[in-house]
Structure 1
Amino acid sequence: MILHRGRLIDHIQLRARDFPATAKFYRAVLGALDCPLLADDDWHIACDELWIDALGEDESEATHVHLAFQANDQEAVKRFYQAGLAAGGRDNGGPGIRSYHPGYYAAFLFDPDGNNVEAVFQGPAPRSVASVEIDIGE
């Protein structure tokens, strides 16, 4: 079976009720996955297509979504899980093989706002490119 994965999502934005706690969690789990932060200040952080910011004054609810980060191997999934727990995440399924398809190795955490955050290694599979490059002209 061949899976085709395209570039369906341009970006994901999460709104955090307690931004310092949420930022601490994402700095830890993204660092464990070797994803460099593109922005990191008192009101937002960003890595790749993920943007996280504080709730505005007129907003009362944080976002609640499931999102999954790609991991390079099973060890990265384990690092993600341990870093997330140490940074205030709550367990939602420790590292291990899942029955979704052969080779699916994942771990799940709830972030401080209750989002279900996953790191997954889909098994060894060659990719046509490591990442999509977009030249925005600057």
Structure 2
Amino acid sequence: METQELHRGRLIDHIQLVVHNLAASRRFYEAVFDALKIPIAGTGADYFWADEVFISSIDSEAAAGKLTGRHHLAFQAADKAMVEAFHVAGLEAGGKDNGGPGERPYHPGYFAAFLIDPDGNNIEAVYHGDAKRSTPSVKITF
């Protein structure tokens, strides 16, 4: 019997973005992921991925010839400095400003920055403040 611990409590397992220009997207996402300390986990001729984000070109098998629409993705940051680094890195890698680093009214301690990626997606880095966080999990036995 194998015991595997699965994370529970997260709504999203992974997401795919299909982009016009894979090279421009890779330049942008490598820069913002580096600022967030998220390594690129895999690459191919028509895709790359990091953590739960899979990005592919329109001619990739996974894309089925269709671009995805405009999305808003928010990535968690460990602190305010990481949000600021995300914003700088994204601008330097071809992103467009959509709201510089700062407090937002969503809840106390919400500190975020927003960028528009090369395909028009609204990409955010957010630090939720120093509130204690819990990571629920459940053990599954097979």
Deviation at 1:132, TM superposition (A): 6.8
The range that moved more, 72-81 or 55-64, is 55-64
SS in 2 for 1:36: coil
In structure 1, the partner of 2:114 is 108
RMSD: 2.3
SS in 2 for 1:123: coil
Q: Is 1:69–1:119's contact at 8 Å kept on the other side of the alignment?
A: yes
Q: Pick the structure with greater CA Rg.
A: 2
If asked which structure has higher relative contact order (CA below 8 Å, sep 6+), I would say: 2
Q: Distance in 1 between matches of 2:125 and 2:104?
A: 12
Higher fraction of strand: 2
Deviation at 1:44, TM superposition (A): 1.2
Q: Percent identity?
A: 50
SS in 2 for 1:75: helix
Aligned length: 130
Q: Which amino acid aligns with 2:17?
A: L
Q: Is 1:33 matched up with 2:39?
A: no
Gaps of 5+ in 2: 1-7
User: TM-score scaled to structure 2, two decimals?
Assistant: 0.83
Gaps of 5+ in 1: none
Q: Which amino acid aligns with 2:48?
A: I
User: TM-score scaled to structure 1, two decimals?
Assistant: 0.85
Pair 1:42–1:73, CA change in 2 (3 A): same
Q: Deviations over 1:73-105 (max 9, x none)?
A: 000000000000000000000000001111000
Q: Is 1:17–1:62's contact at 8 Å kept on the other side of the alignment?
A: no
Q: Deviations over 1:99-137 (max 9, x none)?
A: 1111000000000000000000000123334x97999xx
